[in-house]
Amino acid sequence: MTAETADTGSAETARKGAPAVLGRLLVPAGLLAAVAGAFAYVGAVDPNEPGHYSVCPLLRLTGVYCPGCGGLRSAHAFVHGDLAAALGANALAVLGYGLFAVVWAVWVVRAVRGRPLRIALGSAQLWGVGVLVAVFTLVRNLPFGSWLHP
């Protein structure tokens, strides 16, 4: 095999591999497009204006802030680059945005390399997430946690 033949073979292999890589990136790209579309909508339709979105049913019925209360206001502020307002509306949601970005980036890198993304959370991690959400909800509804109110 000559050097010229070897170059042609590697170029041909690269051309055949490109559609495979693009195929592996379809799902992460689709998910990113859906999330970007949702953020664009919330960025355009202000949740601070009455009548655009419904009120949280738990808040309306009980006066208790659920872990998601303020999430739309947080997303709106985040889209407009106001991180302080986003954290003030729902700090847990902002943490979720960052976690999504990290997991999505890892997913894309693994997809390009041809490795599947496997997230195997054990019971300890699941309990940890549950405790974090429960503590966040409890603290934001206590008098000293008013700084976590949306």
Q: What is the DSSP letter of 118?
A: -
Its domain, for residue 114, covers 3-148
Q: Each residue of 62-72: pLDDT tens digit?
A: 989 999 999 99
94 closest CA partner among 81, 105, 83, 109: 83
Q: Check whether 100 has a pLDDT greater than 70.
A: yes
Burial class (CB in 10 A: 0-12, 13-18, 19+), 126: exposed
Mean pLDDT of the chain: 87
| Under 8 Å between Cβ of 114 and 18 | no
Which tokens belong to 46? 């202000």
Q: Each residue of 40-53: pLDDT tens digit?
A: 999 999 998 888 88
User: What is the end-to-end Cα distance of the chain in Å, rounded?
Assistant: 69
Per-residue pLDDT at 90: 94
Q: Check whether 17 has a pLDDT greater than 70.
A: no
| Number of domains making up the chain | 1
70 closest CA partner among 53, 80, 138: 53
91 closest CA partner among 104, 103, 105, 78: 78
